[in-house]
Amino acid sequence: MTSAVEVTAQRLRDRGERVTPARLAVVEVLAGTEEHLSAEQIGERAEELRPGIHRATVYRALDALGEFGLVTHVHLGRAGTTYHLAGDLAPRHLHLRCSECGTVYDAPGDILEAARKKVQRELGFQLAPEQVALVGVCVECQS
């Protein structure tokens, strides 16, 4: 089985982009967790994996990988922005954030598919719900 790091390296080469230690460290961090990590947390973990990588370099790597469609980010409101592997490098999922306790839950990526298709069909607008957190109240806070 080919790892996300190997796939990313090959895709970067195919695009004629540089395969840098920082870019690979970012992918390795994201592939190794199901947590919702901020850029700062990714930077910390990337430095642990590859000592000597500066945090600013990791931030630039996140931006570049985002431009190449290999990493995506999600705005979680007050909780900030988190990053994930994109496309076929990771399972597609949505984020649900409880407005009471702030907990972020993952939801299946196709759960809003009917709404996405209806908006496209009726309004000609393409939704990107993976880019935001849907806000509501979790079952624990409802009781």
How many separate helices (H) and strands (E) can be counted in the chain?
6, 5
Rounded to an integer, the average pLDDT of 92-99 is: 88
Predicted pLDDT of residue 44? 94
For the cut 80, the answer to whether the pLDDT of residue 41 exceeds it is: yes
**Mean pLDDT, the chain, as a whole number?**
90
pLDDT at site 1: 56
* CATH number belonging to domain 4-85: 1.10.10.10
Q: Grade residue 65 by pLDDT with cuts at 50, 70 and 90.
A: very high
Same fold flag, 4-85 and 93-141? no
Estimate to the nearest angstrom the gap between the alpha carbon of 121 and the chain centroid: 27
Which residues sit in the known binding site for Fe cation? 113
Domain map (residue ranges) of the chain: 4-85, 93-141
Instruction: List residues forming the annotated binding site for Zn(2+).
Output: 98, 101, 138, 141
CATH 3.10.580.10 is held by the domain 93-141: no
Average pLDDT, integer, range 129-137: 86
Report the percentage of the chain scoring pLDDT > 70: 98
Distances (CA, A) of 82 to 37, 94, 132: 5, 12, 10
Q: Which of 28-37, 59-68, 73-82, 126-135 has the lowest mean pLDDT?
A: 73-82
Band (pLDDT 50/70/90 cuts) for residue 121 is very high
